[in-house]
Amino acid sequence: MRASAGYPIITLNEFIINRQSEHPEARGDLSRLLHHIGVAAKIVNKKINKAGLVDILGEAGDVNVQGEDVQKLDVFANDHFTAALQASGEVCAIASEENQEIITFDEGLSRDGHYVFCMDPLDGSSNIEVNVSVGTIFSIYRRLSPEGEPAELSDFLQTGEHQVAAGYVIYGSSTTLVYTTGNGVDGFTLDPGIGEFCLSHSGIRTPETGRIYSINEGNYVHFPIGVKKYIKYCQEIDPNSGRPYTSRYIGSLVSDFHRNLLKGGIFIYPQTQSAPRGKLRLIYECNPIAFIAEQAGGTATNGITRTVELHPQGLHQRVPFYVGSRSMVDKAHEFLNTYH
């Protein structure tokens, strides 16, 4: 097949198989799990693409014209990722933004699963009604508790350094799955024509610096003084470019992070008076994004400590989040350290 015919297309499954063949000792269980994540992402993507037809589909809780119960899309995403993880047979327990407590194999997960799975099944779901991109974020750890026994909370309170894989799916103008297993970061864009995630961003490296800062400046009055000073720094004329930085804020973590990952930039969700620990969740938002950022050459902290070194105290714990190009996060730290 001529290369110019758009080949070789490398599908997600082919990429997973190729990567696994580089590690003959691998049992293939993580590969199987990643495959099922891809399947769930396709199912959620299909549903989200119909979300704009709300008059036909009905609001969550309604019965639509087909007589079907309309689900909230984040519940739909949670259910389908859970079903995919059950089908994989590789996961013994799940922590989800949608569930107050962990779910274990008494709800269909595998007693012999080697992994525990953390997810925000549909982050930013309130943006769907205004057609803003949203995402799924996930993080995978090896279980610590004895195999065959119910998973324990401690399985989920590992530091982010112990993640075996992490990723996100961004349901936007195109649907892209980005993940790492600790060997760099790769992105796959869904080709609806063939129903496959195809390698589109191989070996993502985030620029060491950038000109984009992402923060909800509506909270300015509630920010720590160091954050206020950093924002003013971003708005001054940069001697290297002769102009200020650019402010870009979508209000959807995966969208803001994905843009900055590719173009360079910093995303900040600091503590505020109304959110003294920040807003974003450590286990299923900040840690997976931090793992990806660091694997791509960037950095992620709570303003003081690497995010992945923070010891989780609870499933839904919130932390301040500074993530992106290394030199930009370092500069923000300078202002945080200088102004208290």
Please report, in range form, the residues annotated as the binding site.
Answer: 97, 120, 122-126, 216, 249, 279, 285
* 295 makes contact with ligand P6P (CB under 6 A): no
Name the binding residues for substrate.
123-126, 216, 249, 279
Q: Cα–Cα distance between 306 and 84 in angstroms, integer?
A: 31
The interface region with ligand P6P, picked from 44-52, 81-89, 101-109, 251-259 by CB under 6 A, is: 251-259
* 326 makes contact with ligand P6P (CB under 6 A): no
* 251 makes contact with ligand P6P (CB under 6 A): yes
The interface region with ligand P6P, picked from 12-20, 178-186, 247-255, 305-313 by CB under 6 A, is: 247-255
Name the binding residues for Mg(2+).
97, 120, 122-123, 285
Q: Would you mind telling me the total number of residues written for the chain in this entry?
A: 340
Q: How far is the CB of 287 from ligand P6P (least distance, A)?
A: 15
User: Which residue in 82, 86, 181, 252 binds ligand P6P (CB under 6 A)?
Assistant: 252
The interface region with ligand P6P, picked from 87-95, 159-167, 190-198, 248-256 by CB under 6 A, is: 248-256
* 155 makes contact with ligand P6P (CB under 6 A): no
3-state class of 199 per DSSP?
A: strand
- According to DSSP, residue 332 is labeled H
| E strands in the chain | 91-96, 103-104, 115-123, 134-142, 165-171, 175-180, 185-191, 196-201, 212-214, 246-247, 266-269, 299-301, 321-324
Task: Using alpha carbons only, give the angle 271, 154, 276 rounded to the nearest 5 degrees.
Answer: 10
* 279 makes contact with ligand P6P (CB under 6 A): yes
Question: Do residues 292 and 166 make contact, with C-beta atoms less than 8 angstroms apart?
Answer: yes
* 151 makes contact with ligand P6P (CB under 6 A): no
Q: Cα–Cα distance between 106 and 115 in angstroms, integer?
A: 16
- Determine how many CB atoms are found less than 10 A away from the CB of residue 42: 19
User: Which residue in 198, 227, 253, 283 binds ligand P6P (CB under 6 A)?
Assistant: 253
Q: Cα–Cα distance between 95 and 102 in angstroms, integer?
A: 5
- Total residues in contact with ligand P6P, by rule CB under 6 A: 7
Q: Which is nearer to ligand P6P, 90 or 97 (CB)?
A: 97
User: Which residue in 123, 155, 196, 294 binds ligand P6P (CB under 6 A)?
Assistant: 123
User: Which residue in 13, 99, 145, 216 binds ligand P6P (CB under 6 A)?
Assistant: 216
* 317 makes contact with ligand P6P (CB under 6 A): no
- Tell me the C-alpha to C-alpha distance, in Å, between residue 258 and each of 15, 42, 298, 329: 21, 19, 12, 16
Q: Is 264 exposed, middle or buried (0-12, 13-18, 19+ CB in 10 A)?
A: buried
Residues in contact with ligand P6P by the rule CB under 6 A: 123-124, 216, 251-253, 279
